[in-house]
Amino acid sequence: MPARIAIFMRANKHIRARPIPVQAPADSAGLHPLLSRLYAARNADDSELEDSLSSLLPPDGLLGIDVAAGLLEEALRQRWRILVVGDFDADGATSSALVVSALRDMGAAHVDYLVPDRFRFGYGLTPGIVEVALGREPDLLITVDNGISSIDGVARAREAGLKVLVTDHHLPGDRLPEADAIVNPNQPGCGFASRSLAGVGVAFYLMMALRSRLRDNGWFESGGGGEPNLARYLDLVALGTVADVVPLDRNNRLLVRQGLRRIRAGHCRPGIAALLEVAGRNPARIVASDFGFAVGPRLNAAGRLDDMSPGIECLLSESRDRALALARELDALNRERREIEAQMKEGATRYLDAMNLDGATLPAGFCLHDPEWHQGVIGILASRIKEQYHRPVIVFADADEGQVKGSARSIPGLHIRDTLDAVAARHPGLLDKFGGHAMAAGLSLAADRLDDFRVAFLDELESRLDDDMLTGVLETDGALAPEDFSLEVSELLRDAGPWGQGFPEPLFDGVFTVVSQRVVGERHLKLSLRPPGGRPLDAIAFGQVERYVPETGERVRVVYRLDSNEYRGMLGLQLVAEWMEPC
């Protein structure tokens, strides 16, 4: 059966400089003027230089955290059997590893983890996964990075006599599960100032609250074990936060910055060190994007194609050799994932290109389905198509019992989870279940209702989107001064992050003359670009061959970032071109 797809043209980019507030500091706290400008454009200031953990928001701002910590203290004192139920992505894996490690370090007698097989049980604490959990004979279930929408699963666990503690960061539905305790910054009534915590961030805050409670109640002095230094878990927090692409608000940036600092200093668990090694990354120079593009995908590959257990075991391992063996297994799974993704993308592109719709009006979004596609990879395909065409995307794959499962990705300005909620409200019974964030969501429905859903979804998009939202905007930090084309400035920007979702890495734009260009690796361009009145600069444009290849001597407008390229132990300045177009 051919892929079912709505057709649209390739999107161009509208390049726009970020506005800088009138009151932008000139050289606040002795900052480099460029860095002051960049912070001001992101509504930040010299407080970005504060990196002490004492600057974190306090745990007591999280609704329900005192009840949750009390429940955990009872579990430790009564020697309950604790089972952590995680999710099958990097955030879920790091959350699971953090809670299991921290509880063991704080003296828990019996603590283990369970991650649902996405192909058998789907996402979250479903009644089916509760039945599996009951075989482990736990007294307490702790969900991490899931559970806020698990109404039936929590009810089944409580019916079976289990205590249930839900920790999550996803948006809740109309009802909350009837758990013994819930910690989620996005639950109604929670006034915590950082609603952007990842699942691993919520887990870390709960462990902070538990340690404080145990300290106050004399647990560590009375034989409960030595009081752990929670900073040793920050490598996990940093990895899960970046890999889950949550907005890097000030609190999240502080968590990630601290995690990166520890890794660079050599204070890193063997599992993360092993994942960095197989990814070819130098721990001493790691930046946030290495989590997003190198480590996270290798962890995610296990949950996408098979079972997340090797990923969690890698993060839990205290043996370098064991961790490296598991990291190599994850690396092999990631290579397999890339092959599957390439085949899926090739099929989708073939359908699009065959239509040749030059001049046609683009629809507001589209749904894509092919029965041969892999459930675990549809989210990546949705992201790739969304990035290329700047339209909301839902990609579906066949599931069991006449169902299809979809993965949705959105564009700025469209809250995809709320959009699905509106579709469900207007068409009762159409969606079996859904959940997620503003920019990403998952859903499932009967396969024979897919066409009905496509019509309802596109109708909803038409009412929510306008032309401005459907125009791809590439925000830059304007032109870079000639004196700032230097390795020193590149290193300054590298260390000034962490940059990421909601706190974007600096991008600059300018006009260059192409001195030379050549294709490398079939899809990429290696270039030499000369700025006006300056010397030629090395540049790389990844994936550029598919879109536009300039000629030698041509003037081009380039949106780029500065990069310190490490080659044979030497650092050199390089521009990474994110976008090129003829002048």
Each domain of the chain, given as residue ranges in start order, spans 59-332, 363-469, 474-582
Whole-number Å distance between alpha carbons of 29 and 378? 46
Please report, to the nearest 10 degrees, the dihedral formed by the alpha carbons of residues 327, 256, 164, 88 taken in order.
-30
Q: Quote the radius of gyration of the chain (alpha carbons, Å).
A: 24
Q: Which residues pair with 563 in a beta bridge?
A: 574
- The tokens describing 508, both together, are 């600059």
Give the class (CATH, top level) of 474-582: mainly beta
| Whole-number pLDDT of residue 123 | 80
Class of domain 59-332: alpha beta
Q: Distance (Å, rounded) from C-alpha 315 to C-alpha 362?
A: 45
Report the predicted TM-score, pTM, of the whole model to 2 decimal places.
0.89
Are 138 and 160 within 8 A, CB to CB?
Answer: no
Q: What is the DSSP string of 215-274?
A: HHTTTTTTTS-PPP-GGGGHHHHHHHHHHTT----HHHHHHHHHHHHHHHTT---HHHHH
End-to-end CA distance of the chain: 43
Rounded Cα gap, residues 471 and 13, in angstroms: 7
Pair of tokens at residue 231: 């900073």
- How far is 23 from 101, CA to CA, in rounded Å? 46
Domain 363-469 has CATH 3.10.20.740: no
Q: What is the pLDDT of residue 5?
A: 32
pLDDT for 352:
62
Please tell me the predicted confidence (pLDDT) of residue 312. Answer: 96
Burial 544-583 (b: 16+ CB within 10 A, else e): beeeeebeeeeebebbbbbbbeeeeeeeebbbbbbbbeee
Per-residue pLDDT tens listing for the chain (583 residues): 333 333 333 456 788 899 877 655 445 557 899 998 999 999 887 666 677 888 999 999 999 999 999 999 999 999 999 999 999 899 999 999 999 999 999 999 999 999 988 777 778 899 999 999 999 999 999 999 999 999 999 999 999 999 999 999 998 988 999 999 999 999 999 999 999 999 999 999 999 999 999 999 999 988 777 899 999 999 999 999 999 989 999 999 999 999 999 999 999 999 999 999 999 999 999 999 999 999 999 999 998 898 899 999 999 999 999 999 999 999 999 999 999 999 998 888 776 666 554 445 667 888 899 999 999 999 999 998 898 888 999 999 999 889 999 999 999 899 999 999 999 999 999 999 898 888 889 999 999 999 999 999 999 999 999 888 888 888 999 999 999 999 999 999 999 989 999 999 999 999 999 999 999 987 899 999 999 989 999 999 998 887 888 999 999 999 999 999 887 778 999 999 999 999 8
